[in-house]
Amino acid sequence: MSGSYLARRFGSALFTIVLIILVNFILFRALPGSPERVILRGTPNVTPAQLEAARERWGLNDPVFPDQFVAFLGATVSGDLGYSFVARGQTVGQVLGQRIWPTVILFGLGELVAIVLGLALGAYSGWRRGGPVDVVGNGLSLVLYSTPYFLLGMALLLVFATGLRWFPTFGMLTAGADYPDIWARLGDFGAHLVLPLATVGLGLVGQYAIVMRSSIVETLSEDYVTTARGMGLREGRILRHHALPNALLPTVSLIAINLGYVVAGAITVEVVFNWPGLGTLAVEALTARDYPVLQGVFLLLSVSVVLANLVADLVYGVLDPRVRT
């Protein structure tokens, strides 16, 4: 992998992250009321002296650009995202820290399930184009692709939690439960995880299957596949050794590009199941107009997506020598 390819990828990701911070910077200043009023929100009977002190303390008397922006950039990079308006005395970092793991577990596992199932389904239906799996799978994929995640979640909730009573309806652990050991706790967690995980998996599987199917169809029409057939190789071997490795390539970057949309779905799935992750946090912050927390969620999710795209670009560079220029 050439140095300039690496440098360009890293440079572009860094630039995007600075832009994200710039958007946060502008948004905070676009809030109704002057910044010092926003900072002193909830403090009764603010005197002009207090206002002036706040302006001085927060550097609001300095020029907006570059002084204030550089200070903001520095604070953001060092992890200082300010204080939550609602959770008094807690920094945005602390609030985010409490909610990050449920989201990572739910979406990490959901992505994994969807990628494995989606790619397998897509590859098989593309290979047996026009067959029963292809026809049913393709139709189903399109319908799933058109369904908002939360709707899927509500349907699963209705059938499997309310109707059949197989799984609990909300939360991550049973409220007030006392666990004899770690395994009981883990079991309860697992029971709560099934439906949200199924929702995320089903929501994503359609897109991945569609992408993989068209990719494998395209690959199977390449000359080297015809050559392999001409050499008398068995179909299964052609699929596994010749078509699949190349067909997988475009899915790498598409999965990364899709992450931005997955995040939107993530938020709503968590809301449906009351899963205590970043999505429910975002909606709580939205309802309470807790802008620092909302901006923290935006920063965290955006930077994660940018970094995931960077990783995908690098992986792609390793897998496909043609893009390393």
Partner 1 sequence: MTAAGASWSPPIPAGRRAGRFDLLFRLIRRPEGAFGVLILATFAALALAPELFVGPLQTAVTAHGTRLSPPSAAFPLGTDELRRDMLNLTVHGARVSMAIGLLATLVTVFIGAVVGIVSGFVGGRVDAVLMRITDFFLVIPTFVLALILTPIIRDLVGSGSTEILGIRMTLIVIVIVIGITSWSSTARIIRSQTLSLKARAFVDRARVIGAGSGHIMRRHILPNVINLIVANAVLVFAGAVLTETTLSFVGLGDPFQPSWGQLLEAARSVGAPGLGAWWYFVPPGVCIVLVVFAFTLVGGALDDLLNPKRRGRG
Q: How far apart are CA 11 and CA 278, in angstroms?
A: 28
275 makes contact with partner 1 (CB under 8 A): no
Q: Does 166 bind partner 1 (CB under 8 A)?
A: no
- 298 belongs to the binding site for partner 1 (CB under 8 A): yes
Minimum CB–partner distance for residue 42 and partner 1 (Å): 16
Q: Does 272 bind partner 1 (CB under 8 A)?
A: yes
Which residues have CB under 8 Å from 235's CB, separation 6+?
none
Query: First and final CA of the chain: distance in angstroms?
Result: 8
Considering the complex, what minimum distance in angstroms separates the CB of residue 170 from partner 1?
A: 8
Q: Which is nearer to partner 1, 184 or 264 (CB)?
A: 264
**253 lies in the site for partner 1, by CB under 8 A:** no
Six token digits for residue 73: 């950039």
CB of 146 to partner 1, least distance (A): 4
175 burial via Cβ count (<10 Å: 0-12, 13-18, 19+): exposed
- Give the three-class secondary structure for 63: coil
Tell me the closest approach of the beta carbon of residue 274 to partner 1, in angstroms.
10
Assess contact for 96 and 189: CB atoms under 8 A. Answer: no
Q: Which is nearer to partner 1, 34 or 169 (CB)?
A: 169
301 interacts with partner 1 by CB under 8 A: yes
Establish if 167 lies at the interface with partner 1 (CB under 8 A): no
Residue 157 touches partner 1, criterion: CB under 8 A: yes
Closest of 240, 254, 261, 260 to residue 313, by C-alpha: 254
Binding string to partner 1 for residues 56 to 85, with x set by CB under 8 A, is what?
A: ------------------------------
Q: At what angle do helices 3-30 and 69-77 cross, to 10 degrees?
A: 110
Which C-beta is closer to partner 1: that of 287 or that of 325? 287
Alpha carbon distances (Å) from 195 to 9, 121, 172, 282, 292: 38, 21, 11, 21, 31
295 near partner 1 (CB under 8 A): yes
- Indicate whether 32 belongs to the interface with partner 1 (CB under 8 A): yes
In this chain, which of 44, 287, 322, 325 binds partner 1, going by CB under 8 A?
287
Cα-only R_g, the chain: 25
Applying CB under 8 A, the span of 43-51, 153-161, 219-227, 315-323 interacting with partner 1 comes to 153-161
Q: Which residues contact 55 (CB under 8 A, 6 or more apart)?
A: 36, 61
Q: How far is the CB of 254 from partner 1 (least distance, A)?
A: 13
Chain CA centroid to CA 269, Å: 12
Q: How many CB atoms lie within 10 A of CB 74?
A: 10
Binding-site ranges for partner 1 (CB under 8 A): 12, 15-16, 19-20, 23, 27, 30-32, 142-143, 145-148, 150-151, 154-155, 157-158, 161-163, 169-170, 257, 259-261, 263-264, 267-268, 271-272, 282-283, 286-287, 289, 291, 294-295, 297-298, 301-302, 305-306, 309
